[in-house]
Structure 1
Amino acid sequence: MKKIRAIFIGDVRFDECPVFELNIESNYFEMIIDKEIRYKKEVVIKDDDFIIFNVEDDIATVIKKQEIE
């Protein structure tokens, strides 16, 4: 199953780095471990401090943000 996920660059300074997954139905990137923490898709796309990935079959590939707009 293909997933679109994102991480915030600044979070890599810490021991754990939250991962956000795009919920296609709501159009929000939701934190996987706490779905109450979420960002609108447009916010993540426009923020240069987020890196977005396609994840499929346990392979993560960085994608260009315009590919998901």
Structure 2
Amino acid sequence: MKKIRAIYIGDVRFDQCPVFELNTKTNYFEMLIDKEFRYEKEVVEEDDEFLVFVVENDIATFIKE
């Protein structure tokens, strides 16, 4: 199953880095550990501080810097 995931560059300063996954039903990137924390898809796509990946069969492919 293909997943679209993103991380925020600024979060790498901390001990843990939250991962966001695109929920195609709501069109929001939701934090995996806290679904209440989310960003609209367009916000993530337009923000240069997010790195976006396609994850399929345990292989992550970078798609947006």
| TM-score between both structures, scaled by the size of structure 2 | 0.97
Q: CA RMSD in A?
A: 1.0
Which aligned pairs between 1:34-49 and structure 2 lie closer than 5 A?
A: 34-49=34-49
Q: Secondary structure at the residue paired with 2:18?
A: coil
Aligned-pair CA distance for 1:64: 3.4
User: How much identity, in percent, do the aligned residues show?
Assistant: 74
Number of equivalent positions: 65
The unaligned stretches of length 5 or more in structure 1 are none
Structure number having the greater strand percentage: 2
Matched, 1:61 2:61: yes
The unaligned stretches of length 5 or more in structure 2 are none
